[in-house]
Amino acid sequence: MTRAEVARHNTRDDCWIIVSGKVYEITAWAPHHPGGAGIARIYAGKDATAEFGDYHSAQAVAHMAHFCIGELVETSEEAKPPA
């Protein structure tokens, strides 16, 4: 999946996030997030790698594996600055 594809899942009812090159579908679980339900609103469709790394335990990382739906593919098209 590409960043553009993930970016389409950017609502509370359809929420994907990217952390460290992997894509997570957290729609159903986001309201139960110990760090707050707000993550769905703030990070839906986005890359939260930097923020995620600041807070989480090994246990949180293990839990997260349940939500992984695929790997991010970086395309050269998206790496280019917008025309």
Close Cβ partners of 4 (under 8 Å, ≥ 6 residues apart): 78
For residue 48, how many other CB atoms are within 10 A of its CB? 17
Pairing state of beta strands 10-11 and 14-19?
Answer: antiparallel
Binding of residue 59 to ligand HEM (CB under 6 A): yes
Say if residues 72 and 7 touch (Cβ distance below 8 Å): no
DSSP state of 47: B
52 binds ligand HEM (CB under 6 A): yes
**Using the rule CB under 6 A, is 16 a contact of ligand HEM?**
no
- Out of 14, 33, 37, 70, which residue is the one contacting ligand HEM (CB under 6 A)? 33
Residue from 6, 15, 16, 17 in contact with ligand HEM (CB under 6 A) = 17
- Does 15 contact ligand HEM by CB under 6 A? no
Residues at the site binding ligand HEM, with contacts judged by CB under 6 A? 17, 24, 26, 33-35, 39, 43, 48, 51-52, 55-57, 59-60, 63-64, 67
